[in-house]
């Protein structure tokens, strides 16, 4: 009788502890978003269709969006995402250039319109209104978001060794 | 007292390699005549490049400062002879990465005019240990065993730890190289004096000089000099001729019987290792006021007509040194800086002699080794690995590009000695694989750091945009409430103001 009571008591305690943990500890979803975000290259280029790397990470976790939409990350990132999420490795939806590149402004032609400065997701372009702009090469992620807004087409991408 | 002692620790693995050293040690050290042009790279050490302090067209004296140390890990560069600075431009150099590096080019005037005010301190005990370290920093002295770590920084790091032993490394375990052997034969007094300076700078009382058993003449010279000097703090230790017993951590294991911890330094176990050449260079700088402007190097191999050891100015093009040693033989095929195991082959002899160049090796066609075959897991590589790693396992994980497993199996501790390559029956280039894998680690770490930086900038920007939006909103709300509370007179005033603004525009 004592044995039965002891085991039943232990089972009850364990059950209570588990249900408490289930209710009060935070769900793991946001952790997973962070883990996915860690694997993304943080270029913030929006080529995946989401406004930055973290939104894409959230979309992968929450709405099962495909994991092969990140050209800057390359096949390597797809492979690691597949590892993490237990999905199949897919070929990249869009191929990327082989080497890392950064934007460069042709400073002769720049008219100082500030459009590129506004577009840069990592604040890597400096310059005042009507004055020449320049790219902080060390901070540029090569996301290409500054190229389209430029009214005089003076921004190009340059490979870094 | 001064006879060599043999009480040693045990080294795992290693190989007994054929020395090929007798041809280059047959004659005394020869002095290479001054070349017409000296080429001095501003990066001859591990760390940040030195900053040039001379301009093009400037006349310089022998020993004059050309580029000063810049950054926390750096060493200055001095003019090796007198002449005119004619260019500061990229020049082919021997480096692990990259082919061309900025160099200061001096056209020699042949006078070899020294500086007027040499700062010599024959009685170095006058200087405080801190002042000595500072002096050593200015002398452009770097580790001459091949690693070229700036000596002053190594010493400064070491004095922050509790030190027991200074170990002078006279163990030249790699085949062909014999410059330290010849240095100890001919400049034993300088080496011992350098040891005394180091002991004073570090404030320690034990110095072991480790020399391999295959250098009996060098040992005899050191014993004779030690008898003359009568300094009981310096002890000679003879170590067996096993490659790679001259590696820093391996030598600590052998001489002090202490194991340097993973990714640690010898100073973690109370040891400081310096090459005998470095000790001699410290003597020349502190006692005679001559900075590091020349070094002894071995010119050897079956592609050299008269193999020998030469003393040459830093910056002398290799072509001039090879020509001095009788030139190339007909079957010369490859030019290697350093030894056959860890050296780096170069494609042109326009490359200058730098502080790191302990050997200029010219070899004929290498004997054909068989094609690479699959690993049969024989374990020979693990038997010879001096770090007691499992190269066959590392190779497996390197092929899979599995960083965490590679780290777990200690790839970062690999000293790239090449022993595993030599014993592999399947002729797998293991060391080359490990080198690539290490470079890949670095690449991944760089990528990670870049991503982290971009992410924080992106988040900071979003926070800024949000804050600006918030500020605009609250300002607008403020204006709205002001307008609501305003009476007709104030509204008329506001309208007038806005009309005036429109007119101005």
Q: Give one DSSP letter per residue of chain A, joined into a string.
A: -HHHHHHHHHHHHHHHHHHHHHHHSPPSHHHHHHHHHHHS------TTSSSSHHHHHHHHHHH---S---TTTHHHHHHHHHHHHT------SS---SS-EEEEE-TTT-----HHHHH-TT--EE--TTS--EE-TTT-----TTTTT-TT--EEEEE--
Q: Which two tokens stand for residue A24?
A: 């009060």
Residue A76 reports pLDDT greater than 80: yes
Please report the pLDDT score of residue A49 as a whole number. Answer: 86
Mean pLDDT of A2-13: 94
Q: For residues B235 and B267, what is the distance between their CA atoms, to the nearest angstrom? A: 19
Please report the pLDDT score of residue B409 as a whole number. Answer: 92
Residue A28 reports pLDDT greater than 70: no
SS3 annotation, B409-466: CCHHHCCCCCHHHHHCCCCCCHHHHHHHHHHHHHHHHHHHHHHHHHHHHHHHHHHHHH
Please report the pLDDT score of residue B481 as a whole number. Answer: 86
| A42/B455 touch (CB, cutoff 8 Å), yes or no | yes
Please report the pLDDT score of residue B182 as a whole number. Answer: 95
Please report the pLDDT score of residue B5 as a whole number. Answer: 65
The structure tokens 């190779």 sit at B395
CATH number for region A100-161: 3.30.70.20
Q: For residues B7 and B15, what is the distance between their CA atoms, to the nearest angstrom? A: 21
DSSP assignment of B6-28 equals -------S-B------TTTTSSP
pLDDT band at A26 (very low <50, low <70, confident <90, very high): low
Mean pLDDT of B108-115: 89
* Closest CA of chain A from B404, distance in Å: 13
Q: Which residues of A touch B460 (CB under 8 A)?
A: 123
Q: Does B497 touch chain A (CB under 8 A)?
A: no
Q: For residues A121 and A111, what is the distance between their CA atoms, to the nearest angstrom? A: 21
Three-state DSSP state, B122: coil
Asked if the A27-96 domain carries CATH number 3.20.20.210, the reply is no
| A122/B450 touch (CB, cutoff 8 Å), yes or no | no
Over residues B460-498, the pLDDT tens digits come to 998 999 999 999 999 999 988 887 777 777 788 888 888
pLDDT band at B251 (very low <50, low <70, confident <90, very high): very high
Bigger pLDDT: A29 or B151?
A: B151
Q: Which residues of B touch A141 (CB under 8 A)?
A: 450, 454
Q: What is the ipTM of this complex?
A: 0.75
Are B348 and B334 spatial neighbours (Cβ–Cβ below 8 Å)? no
Q: Give me chain B's average pLDDT, please.
A: 90
* Closest CA of chain A from B452, distance in Å: 7
For chain A, domain boundaries: 27-96, 100-161
Over residues B208-229, the pLDDT tens digits come to 999 998 899 999 999 999 999 8
The share of chain B scoring above pLDDT 90, in percent, equals 58
Closest residue in A to B462 (Cα–Cα): A121
Residue A91 reports pLDDT greater than 70: yes
Q: Which residues contact B304 (CB under 8 A, 6 or more apart)?
A: B322, B325, B326, B327, B328, B329, B332, B362
Please report the pLDDT score of residue A27 as a whole number. Answer: 59
pLDDT band at A63 (very low <50, low <70, confident <90, very high): confident
Are B14 and B386 spatial neighbours (Cβ–Cβ below 8 Å)? yes
Q: Does B344 touch chain A (CB under 8 A)?
A: no
Closest residue in A to B447 (Cα–Cα): A41
Residue B1 reports pLDDT greater than 50: no
Please report the pLDDT score of residue A68 as a whole number. Answer: 87
Mean pLDDT of B27-31: 92
Rounded to 5°, the CA angle B431-B266-B287 comes to: 110
Q: Give me chain A's average pLDDT, please.
A: 86
Neighbours of B92 (CB within 10 A): 20
pLDDT band at A83 (very low <50, low <70, confident <90, very high): confident
Bigger pLDDT: A63 or B187?
A: B187
Residue A94 reports pLDDT greater than 80: no
Please report the pLDDT score of residue B117 as a whole number. Answer: 77
Q: Which residues of B touch A53 (CB under 8 A)?
A: 455, 458
Residue A54 reports pLDDT greater than 60: yes
Over residues B46-95, the pLDDT tens digits come to 888 899 999 999 999 999 999 998 888 899 999 999 999 999 998 888 76
Mean pLDDT of B263-275: 92
Q: For residues B380 and B56, what is the distance between their CA atoms, to the nearest angstrom? A: 56
Looking at domain B30-313, its CATH superfamily turns out to be NADH-ubiquinone oxidoreductase 51kDa subunit (3.40.50.11540)
Q: Does B476 touch chain A (CB under 8 A)?
A: no
Q: Which of B90, B404, B457 to mutate to test the interface with A (most CBs of A within 10 A)?
A: B457
For chain B, domain boundaries: 30-313, 380-434, 440-500
Q: For residues B362 and B341, what is the distance between their CA atoms, to the nearest angstrom? A: 13
Q: Which residues contact B461 (CB under 8 A, 6 or more apart)?
A: A121, A122, A123
Q: Which residues of B touch A123 (CB under 8 A)?
A: 457, 460-461
pLDDT band at B114 (very low <50, low <70, confident <90, very high): confident
Over residues B12-28, the pLDDT tens digits come to 888 998 889 988 998 89
């Amino acid at each position: 009788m004592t044995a039965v009571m002891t085991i039943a008591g232990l089972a009850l305690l364990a059950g209570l502890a588990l249900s408490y943990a289930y209710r009060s500890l935070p769900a793991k979803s946001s952790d997973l978003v962070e883990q996915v975000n860690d694997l993304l290259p943080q270029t913030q280029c929006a080529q995946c269709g989401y406004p930055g790397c973290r939104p894409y990470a959230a979309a992968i976790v929450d709405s099962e969006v495909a994991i092969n939409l990140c050209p800057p990350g390359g096949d390597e990132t797809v492979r690691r995402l597949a590892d993490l999420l237990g999905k199949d490795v897919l070929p990249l939806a869009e191929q990327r250039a082989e080497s890392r590149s950064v934007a460069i402004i042709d400073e002769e032609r720049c008219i100082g319109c500030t459009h590129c400065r506004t577009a840069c997701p990592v604040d890597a372009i400096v310059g005042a209104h009507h004055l020449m702009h320049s790219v902080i090469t060390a901070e540029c992620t090569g996301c290409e978001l500054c190229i389209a807004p430029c009214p005089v087409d003076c921004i190009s991408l340059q490979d870094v060794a | 007292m001064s006879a060599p002692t043999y009480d040693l620790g045990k080294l795992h693995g290693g190989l007994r390699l054929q020395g090929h050293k007798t041809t280059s040690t047959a004659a005394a050290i020869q002095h290479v005549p001054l070349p017409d042009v000296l080429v001095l790279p501003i990066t001859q050490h591990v760390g940040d490049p030195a900053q040039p302090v001379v301009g093009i067209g400037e006349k310089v004296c022998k020993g004059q400062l050309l580029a000063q140390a810049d950054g926390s890990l750096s060493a200055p560069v001095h003019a090796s002879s007198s002449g005119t600075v004619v260019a500061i431009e990229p020049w082919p150099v021997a480096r692990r990465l990259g082919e061309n590096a900025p160099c200061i080019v001096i056209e020699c005037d042949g006078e070899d005019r020294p500086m007027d005010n040499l700062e010599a301190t024959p009685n170095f005990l006058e200087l405080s240990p801190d002042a000595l370290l500072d002096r050593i920093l200015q002398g452009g002295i770097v580790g001459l065993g091949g690693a070229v770590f700036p000596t002053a920084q190594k010493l400064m790091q070491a004095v922050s730890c509790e030190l027991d032993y200074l170990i002078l490394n006279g163990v030249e375990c790699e085949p062909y190289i014999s410059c330290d052997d010849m240095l100890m034969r001919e400049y034993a007094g300088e080496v011992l004096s350098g040891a005394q300076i180091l002991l004073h700078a570090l404030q320690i009382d034990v110095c072991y000089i480790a020399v391999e058993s295959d250098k009996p003449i060098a040992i005899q010279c050191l014993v004779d000099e030690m008898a003359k000097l009568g300094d009981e703090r310096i002890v000679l230790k003879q170590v067996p001729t096993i490659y790679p017993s001259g590696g820093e951590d391996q030598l600590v294991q052998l001489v002090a019987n202490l194991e340097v911890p993973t990714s640690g330094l010898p100073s973690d176990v109370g040891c400081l290792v310096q090459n005998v050449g470095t000790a001699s260079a410290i003597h020349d700088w502190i006692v005679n006021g001559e900075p590091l402007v020349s070094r002894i190097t071995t010119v050897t191999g079956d592609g050299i007509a008269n193999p020998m050891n030469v003393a040459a100015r830093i910056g002398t093009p290799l072509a001039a040194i090879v020509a001095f040693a009788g030139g190339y033989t007909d079957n010369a095929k490859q030019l290697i800086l350093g030894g056959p195991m860890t050296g780096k082959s170069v494609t042109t002899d326009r490359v200058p002699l730098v502080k790191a160049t302990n050997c200029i090796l010219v070899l004929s066609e290498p004997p054909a080794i068989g094609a690479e075959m699959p690993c049969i897991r024989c374990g020979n590589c693990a038997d010879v690995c001096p770090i007691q790693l499992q190269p066959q396992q590392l190779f497996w994980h390197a092929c899979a590009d599995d960083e965490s497993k590679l780290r777990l199996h200690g790839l970062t501790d690999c000293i790239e000695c090449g022993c595993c390559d030599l014993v592999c029956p399947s002729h797998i280039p293991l060391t080359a694989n490990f080198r690539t894998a290490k470079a890949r680690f670095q690449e991944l770490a760089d990528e990670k750091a870049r991503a982290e930086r971009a992410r924080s900038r992106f988040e900071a920007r979003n926070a800024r945009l949000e804050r600006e939006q918030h500020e605009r909103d609250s300002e607008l709300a403020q204006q709205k409430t002001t307008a609501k509370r305003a009476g007709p007179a104030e509204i008329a005033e506001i309208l007038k103001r806005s009309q005036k603004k429109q007119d101005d525009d």
